[in-house]
């Protein structure tokens, strides 16, 4: 992506909205694209661009759904557009600090941890009567068939001749795919939950005065899926805050979660590879070691 061009598109969006130039314009690279922060006085916006075709449209739908469900702030969408070959959205700039910068203070950690886990539990209480959401917008009552819908195209990608996956990892993913029914069996009876799908705390803002959640950002493939697809991400950033452990204290998960944790995480990594071309042989090999240890 052309960074100067993206910055210009964002500046033009700010000008169109506020009829003046932004005094502050900071552009940052993310896994899926670029984010531009623009401000002039009290006028502030965030402009997001995605490398993946269709990602911006998904985020618009996800943010709208999240705003209806969660109690904490979610960015409002001002504009969804396309310019210079790039899709982008213009969002309001939520006040707050990224939770990965939460201070190592016991009161701050406890307050944030309690608030965020309560928000996630309330999010996951939202179930759909038709079951699990499929990629075409339909639903299935069967978790196994839903998982096949979510990850079947990912499996075909990583097994293709054009994928970067080594023969050894293809063999491991083939075995993982063949074991999916057994791995999912302990939770096959459970209802769907609405999930954010990338809820590690780098996608959460906190209020520096109250230490409570000030915003929930950057949903990935949100929808009515299984809550463990969210829980796995709570281990990803700042494990010292023990967000995942507190969630597990508040909400019982069925036997075999440790195995499913690495199972879901491996497929999540494979999905990111398909979407963005990311690949790290050692990272995936190490994660398979964790999965195999938990499975036996």
Q: Are residues 153 and 12 in the same domain?
A: no
Q: Are residues 173 and 40 in the same domain?
A: no
Q: Report the number of distinct structural domains present in the chain.
A: 2
Residue 118 confidence (pLDDT) above 80? yes
What's the CATH number where 181 sits?
3.90.1200.10
Of the chain, the percentage scoring pLDDT greater than 70 comes to: 100
Average pLDDT over residues 70-98: 91
Q: What is the pLDDT of residues 7-43, one digit of tens each?
A: 999 999 999 999 999 998 899 988 888 999 999 999 9
Residue 126 confidence (pLDDT) above 80? yes
From 35, 60, 92, the end of a domain falls on 92
Q: What is the pLDDT of residues 41-56, one digit of tens each?
A: 999 999 999 887 778 8
From 92, 122, 139, the end of a domain falls on 92
Q: Are residues 149 and 58 in the same domain?
A: no
Chain centroid to CA 238: how far? 16
Please give the backbone phi and psi of residue 113, each rounded to the nearest 5 degrees, phi first. Answer: -60, -45
Closest CA to 50 of 63, 66, 31, 64: 31
Q: What is the average pLDDT value for the chain, to the nearest integer?
A: 93
Average pLDDT over residues 289-296: 93
- Print the domain residue range for 221: 97-295
Q: Are residues 136 and 52 in the same domain?
A: no
Residue 2 confidence (pLDDT) above 90? no
Of the chain, the percentage scoring pLDDT greater than 90 comes to: 82
Structure token digits, residue 90 = 């213009």
Structure token digits, residue 264 = 């879901």
Q: Are residues 69 and 168 in the same domain?
A: no
- As a whole number of angstroms, the distance between CA 73 and CA 94 comes to 8
Query: Mean pLDDT: which of 26-30, 77-81, 148-152 is highest?
Result: 148-152
Would you state the pLDDT for residue 1? 66
Indicate the length of the chain as a whole number. 296
From 71, 92, 113, the end of a domain falls on 92
Q: Is residue 54 classed as helix, strand or coil in its secondary structure?
A: coil
Q: Are residues 165 and 185 in the same domain?
A: yes
Confidence of residue 233 (pLDDT cuts 50, 70, 90): very high
Q: What is the pLDDT of residues 96-110, one digit of tens each?
A: 999 999 999 999 999
Would you state the pLDDT for residue 24? 83
Confidence of residue 231 (pLDDT cuts 50, 70, 90): very high
């Amino acid at each position: 992506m052309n960074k100067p061009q993206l910055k210009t598109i964002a500046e033009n969006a700010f000008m169109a909205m506020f009829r003046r130039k932004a005094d502050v314009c900071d552009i940052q690279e993310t896994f899926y694209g670029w984010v531009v922060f623009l401000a002039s006085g009290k006028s502030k916006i965030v402009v997001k661009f995605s490398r993946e075709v269709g990602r911006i449209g998904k985020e618009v739908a996800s943010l709208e759904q999240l705003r209806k469900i969660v109690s904490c702030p979610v960015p409002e969408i001002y504009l969804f557009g396309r310019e210079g070959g790039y899709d982008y959205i213009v969002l309001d700039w939520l006040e707050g600090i990224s939770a990965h910068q939460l201070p190592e203070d016991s009161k701050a950690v406890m307050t944030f941890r309690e608030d965020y886990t309560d928000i996630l539990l309330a999010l996951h209480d939202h179930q759909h009567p038709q079951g699990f959401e499929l990629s075409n917008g339909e639903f299935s009552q069967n978790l196994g068939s839903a998982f096949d819908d979510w990850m079947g195209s990912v499996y075909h990608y990583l097994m293709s001749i054009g994928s970067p996956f080594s023969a050894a990892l293809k063999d491991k993913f083939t075995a993982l795919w063949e074991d999916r029914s057994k791995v999912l069996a302990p939770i096959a009876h459970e209802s769907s939950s609405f999930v954010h799908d990338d809820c590690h705390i780098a996608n959460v803002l906190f209020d520096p005065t109250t230490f409570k959640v000030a915003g929930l950002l950057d949903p990935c493939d949100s929808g009515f899926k299984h809550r463990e697809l969210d829980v796995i991400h709570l281990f990803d950033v700042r494990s010292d805050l023990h967000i995942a452990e507190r969630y597990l204290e508040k909400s019982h998960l069925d036997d075999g979660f440790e195995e499913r944790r690495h199972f879901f995480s491996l497929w999540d990594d494979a999905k990111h590879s398909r979407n963005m071309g990311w690949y790290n042989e050692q990272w995936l090999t190490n994660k398979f070691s964790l999965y195999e240890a938990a499975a036996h």
